[in-house]
Amino acid sequence: MMDDFGLYPRDENFDPLGVMLFKALQVIAFLFFLALLAVSPDSKDGKVDFKAEFMITMDWPDNHPDDLDLFVQDPAGHIAWYRHREAGFLTLDRDDRGGANDFIIVNGKKIPSPIREEIVTVRGILAGEYTVNVSHFRATTGEAVDAHVRVQKLNPTVQVIFDNKVTLNRTGDEKTAVRFRLDAEGKVINVDQRPKSLLETFRNVRANGADIDPKTGVRMIRRE
């Protein structure tokens, strides 16, 4: 009964409207408290100081078992990918391996995540052309997969400069989603989809004779 919780004095007449109003005030006060916690500057745990000039995302259907990879090359030749997550101003913020190892931890337990997405951020301006490629690292279904690629310019306001899909057909398939060019101020001056293989760039790097290429993170075969 309501009286068991001491919501109104036992000796007074029961007023349903008053009780409802009191409960409503309690709910409002609780929500206000949660809002204060969310915006409190003293809450340091979990604070994210995120700054980027561009964000590049690639996603494919939820719960899909295949492993797709995002590769981004900057004008200086740096390439961000799953084995070289920081390259120049490029950072691979999320590497998704599809059904192989896509889990989140909740209360100490591993729970499969349905989301299939990789994210690369560009955290500085370098004039020239950027190449965004998608690779089908592991095909398990034997069917083609559509990868949705989006490039967003974040400053001074969010602007979508590319939003489209590419289709990957088999393991090892590589497609250029988009190539875009920036001027010295970071303005996008050209967008196109001319094909360019970044995996071929890796093969060329391996023939150069050093140990590890600092731009791509590729281990190279030293010539004897």
Model's pTM, two decimal places?
A: 0.71
Tokens of 76: 């200086």
Q: How many domains does the chain have?
A: 2
Name the band, by pLDDT with cuts 50, 70 and 90, for residue 94: confident
**Residue holding tokens 């090359």?**
73
Residues 111 and 185 in one domain: yes
List, in sequence order, the alpha helices (H) in 40-116.
Answer: none
188-218 confidence digits (pLDDT tens): 999 999 999 999 888 777 666 557 788 888 7
Backbone angles phi, psi at 192, to 5 degrees: -150, 180
Residue 221 has pLDDT above 70, yes or no: no
- d(CA 34, CA 136) in angstroms, rounded, equals 44
Identify the pLDDT of residue 148.
Answer: 97
Question: What domain range is 6 assigned to?
Answer: 2-39
Residue 51 has pLDDT above 90, yes or no: no
Tokens of 181: 């060019």
Identify the pLDDT of residue 96.
Answer: 74
Identify the pLDDT of residue 206.
Answer: 64
The answer to the question of residue 188 being in a domain is: yes
The answer to the question of residue 19 being in a domain is: yes
Residues 33 and 131 in one domain: no
Residue 99 has pLDDT above 70, yes or no: no
The answer to the question of residue 47 being in a domain is: no
List, in sequence order, the alpha helices (H) in the chain.
Answer: 16-39, 198-205
* Contact (Cβ atoms closer than 8 angstroms) between residue 120 and residue 130: no
Helix (H) or strand (E) holding 188: strand 188-192
Residues 19 and 126 in one domain: no
| Mean pLDDT along residues 7-36 | 56
Count CB-CB contacts under 10 A for residue 209. 10
Average pLDDT, the chain: 79
